[in-house]
Structure 1
């Protein structure tokens, strides 16, 4: 029997391959996931790095997108609900060059629960900023490389 984490990684790989090939090429992996947080890793490889040998800005934003969006999608699926999910806004602060594999951490599980509850009860679209922090634990421990505020927009279908 596959663990929840392995199932989630298979789903993420399938979703990337079938719906967002650029995501699949970046090879994201879910490292940890619970009701309150998710941690995604994108390896620093030829496909994700820039000319300065640090992670390309597009790969960084993709990692933030996956961390915020995957948690909302999994929570809705766990409840047996269908939602429409998109990001409406992005604010990013780049603090240091990420020169190794980057981990993207979203700890807004409770906020996403409240958003799901609201859209499921009202049927209206709900928009809230979720915070994602990017770190390079191999080089800098828990020191933030970048911080993202993505405006998550969800609506019950």
Structure 2
């Protein structure tokens, strides 16, 4: 597969992080509303605080990865559109990232396969946090009747 196609495919995959981010935003909002409603109603106390706090922390962590994934998606897309001068653009990119302290100088000049692998790892980290949010939400939805009963 040509490098411009690899860059296009990677950018397309990384743009899927936006869907994960929107799902996470909803779950984070759900956690905040759940925690607020329970504190106003003085309901379950510990368990509602645990659920809402967990959802909020996971949401904040996910937001960090979402920002990094979106940044990489834009970079890969721009580079794919200018793939005919990729070596020149790679050097400019490395210089810009190093100047802005977004990349250590020793990471410059890496092969594109490593860069693509690293970018997809960011997306995987984001997906793992969203999955943890979904599981935590499902756990508390299913466990809520027993938590109320147990007191």
The structure richer in helix per residue is: 2
**Using CA pairs below 8 Å that are at least 6 residues apart, which structure has the higher relative contact order?**
2
| Same fold at TM > 0.5 | no
> Rg larger in 1 or in 2?
2
